[in-house]
Amino acid sequence: MTRLTKFLPLLMLLAAIWCVSACDHDEPRNRHTGNGNTIVTNDTTGRVNPSDTTRDTTGNVTPKDTIGTDTTNYPPPPAAFTITLNADRDYAYMGQSLQVHAITSETATVKWRSTNSMVATVNNEGLVMMANVRDDCETHIIATANNMSDSLLLHNRVWHVAMKENNAWITEGTRKVHPGDTILMTIVNSSSQLINDEGFNAGTCQWTVTCREADVDSLFSAIEAPSQANGWQAKYVVAPGSPLNVTFSIQVRYNEAATALSCMILP
């Protein structure tokens, strides 16, 4: 007993040291953030409790950060840029023009091009000019702005000068006429049908007669120019005393497009 009493002060000192060390540690469910001032409480699963709070260095308590649950109303992202093409119709006749419009969602510089310049060309304002072609054909008109594009398929339709024979409109070959004949001429489409739509302005066509073998004035006794009143039909009366065995050509032109039909005066 005397020996135990001798070591009692040492045992009491060790017990005190152990008690201080144990009290200095948190319970397993708590952890320090590292600065000694901010404490975040975990549940038994190790997840952060949403109701926990943090304390900044000034001592003010602020709500714990809730990433992914912020309901602040930010402005919506800007709308994507758009460009749309339209025109009054999807065709025009050779030599004539058609205006194509580009509608953009905001002001922008528009660049234009045609996928086939042999069919049609387009200027910087979207004005399409149909080329002189031999058959009905088509091309895409493309407009680009701010790296966005839109296209419009346009058709180039041909037209021909034609002579009326036996209630049909003839567009090919050299036609035979005689002194005193009345020749009816007009403009038809690729199917030899009269053109009666907004895609063709017959009133702006130029009619001419050429002859290498004789003076043109000696060939006809009367000429009636085409007009809307007569259905855009031209009338030529071959003079009774016109020279024989000569060939003349009746040509119709609109801008750079032209078509013609030849006639030979026979006895």
> Is residue 53 in some structural domain?
no
Give the global pTM: 0.68
116 and 128: one domain?
Answer: yes
188 and 257: one domain?
Answer: yes
pLDDT one-digit tens code per residue, 166-224: 999 999 999 999 999 999 999 999 999 999 888 888 888 999 999 999 999 999 999 99
153 and 198: one domain?
Answer: no
Q: Which residues of the chain have pLDDT under 70?
A: 1-71
> Is residue 48 in some structural domain?
no
SS3 labels along 89-137: CCEEECCCEEEEEEEECCCCCCEEEECCCCCEEECCCCEEEECCCCCCE
256 and 165: one domain?
Answer: yes
Distances in Å between the Cα of 64 and the Cα atoms of 5, 38, 57 are 55, 11, 15
* pLDDT at residue 38 in the model: 45
> Is residue 116 in some structural domain?
yes
Show the domain range for 109: 83-157
153 and 222: one domain?
Answer: no
CATH of residue 91's domain is: 2.60.40.1080
| Number of domains the chain contains | 2
> Is residue 201 in some structural domain?
yes
